[in-house]
Amino acid sequence: MEVSATFLAWLRRHNETISDTADRRMHNRLRRPKMNYLDQIKLTALMNLTAGSSEIPIGLIDGPIATDHSDLAAENIHEISGKSGMACTRSDSIACTHGTFIAGILCAKRNSAAPAICPDCPLLLYPIFAETKSANGEMPSATPDELAAAVVETVNAGARVLNLSVGLANPSSKGERRLEQAFDYAAKRGVITVAAAGNQGTLGSTAITRHSCVIPVVACDLRGRPMNESNMGSSIGRRGLSAPGEAITSLGAVGKPLTLGGGTSVATPFVTGAIALLWSAFPMATAGQVKFAVTQAFAPRRTMVVPPLLNAWAAYQFIVTSQVRR
């Protein structure tokens, strides 16, 4: 399992020592698209209705997080297990940067530069990426067996939605079978799993995206078009969704807001956050009902390898209509 090459390439280029004046200009420039990509997936109206619920914990299997960040509510973040502790020990690591960035999309404070989709949902963190210095050229990785163990443990800790902004490395048939069993277990426990489709620009599937209980996520640009590096395939097209993956701003490990040019790992938490908000608004809905509303209600017939763009408000209206009909 590895952080996307797109993210790594961006991280290497980023200069943490830019001047305060230049940083402010960048910050203002990056914040402007925030409402654009939230409106693009019809998420703004749902975010105005709810900030989430303590009854809908999100399981984040990723890197450690800069828990002392002023735009994160550390009391709402809980460590499960993992390779390292929940808090970052070195802010220059890819694992810390990635984990903090994804956490910001989900649960940063609403007045921050990050999307901050569902800050009232508890975040159950399983730090699966070991911290390594970004300059050494190595990507954080884990085996399918380690990911399978992380899924099971996060589900047992009470997560209702899993966010997997990751991809497999060193796959094996034995490890993939265990991963399939872990996804089966999550589904039986009523947990919705959302996972990045990958950034190799290939046509096909992996042990993650081909599983029938996983919602694969493809990255799209600001016009809603799939980004070239996103993986596509029949299973991704049938069961997956597209979400914003271009020019996304979120939290940086050292306090400054950061932006990322593209990638499915960044797009994934938009779907995860939308599901968490829907479930917070309709706590009596089943996992199957929420998943159907998000993936099938507004695009029932899937024949292409490119999944439809997430429409959070259409999913909300579908659940409202379904409850009225009962």
Quick: pLDDT tens for 70-129: 999 888 999 987 556 777 888 778 889 999 999 999 999 999 999 999 999 999 999 998
Q: What are the angstrom distances between the C-alpha of 295 and each of 65, 283, 322? A: 30, 18, 15
- Bigger pLDDT: 13 vs 270: 270
Q: What is the arrangement of strands in the sheet containing 77-79, beginning at the earlier edge strand?
A: 77-79, 123-127, 58-62, 161-164, 192-196, 214-220, 241-244
Confidence of residue 138 (pLDDT cuts 50, 70, 90): very low
Q: What would the two tokens of residue 138 be?
A: 């190595």
Q: What is the pLDDT of residues 212-254, one digit of tens each?
A: 999 999 999 988 999 999 999 999 999 999 999 999 999 998 8
Please state the rounded mean pLDDT for residues 57-76: 92
236 token code pair: 């991704």
Angle at 167 between CA 164 and CA 227, to 5 degrees: 90
Structural domain boundaries enclosing 21? 5-325
Instruction: Give the Cα separation of 226 and 218 in Å (integer).
Output: 7
- pLDDT exceeds 50 at position 22: no
pLDDT at 324: 53
CATH number at 278 reads: 3.40.50.200
Q: What is the largest CA-CA distance in the chain?
A: 59
Domain total of the chain? 1
pLDDT band at 132 (very low <50, low <70, confident <90, very high): low
What integer pLDDT is reported at residue 135 of this predicted model? 40
pLDDT of residue 27: 40
pTM of the model: 0.88
Instruction: Answer yes or no: are the C-beta atoms of 286 and 258 closer than 8 Å.
Output: no
